[in-house]
Structure 1
Amino acid sequence: AGPNAVIYTTEEYQHLLFAVMAHYFPAPGASADYCNKPELYDEAIAHIDTFLTAAPAPAALIAGMDVVGRVPHAGDVKYIYLTKAGPGPQVQPAAESLLDPATGNLIPPGPKHKRMVIKN
């Protein structure tokens, strides 16, 4: 994957996915600085052995990931953002745009623009 990877899964597998991420791409520090849902990430870490060995995670899946020789290194993944798929494209008021509709140039963000702050 590139610098911004997207992984789609169902809610049923989110703990398994977090456990896999925690195992192969450990957090460099506090989970609250690494994930927008630190309570779910911490739960995955607390039960990592269960999530990585229990159904529906077949042993072959974990063995297959181990075969590639990935050495876990904290900090390889900067941030994990857990979200749900939304309703699709939405028409927003021009005041919420980050582009000037007349020129297509960037405009400075205002108070209505959301910003995610990722700590180093």
Structure 2
Amino acid sequence: MTAKYTSHAAGVELAILLCFLSGCVQSLMALFRIGSLVDIISLPISIGFTSATAVIIATSQVKSLLGLTYPRSSDENFGKTLLNIYQNMSKTQLGDSLLGLVSIILLML
């Protein structure tokens, strides 16, 4: 969704801004002691949101992990990302894939 509204060049600046604003919100919640509002959100919703975020982030990194190069579309979503990866699987770069997998294994140890 956000890829539609931002250019690829502004990604780093927007990520920094998002981190800063998240920290400000957390600081304000701590200052006014309203962190207990999180208890209103049920555990299954929190787990589902966190799991979905992890899946989306992991899927977005598969392209780089496999060394695939294909143009990024402005309306790319989860389904289109998976489809693009599947369609370009024959263009996988062995060196990039091995380096990525070894790095993941080392991080897991």
Q: What TM-score comes out, normalization by structure 2 length?
A: 0.26
The structure with more helix, counted as a fraction of residues: 2
Q: What TM-score comes out, normalization by structure 1 length?
A: 0.24
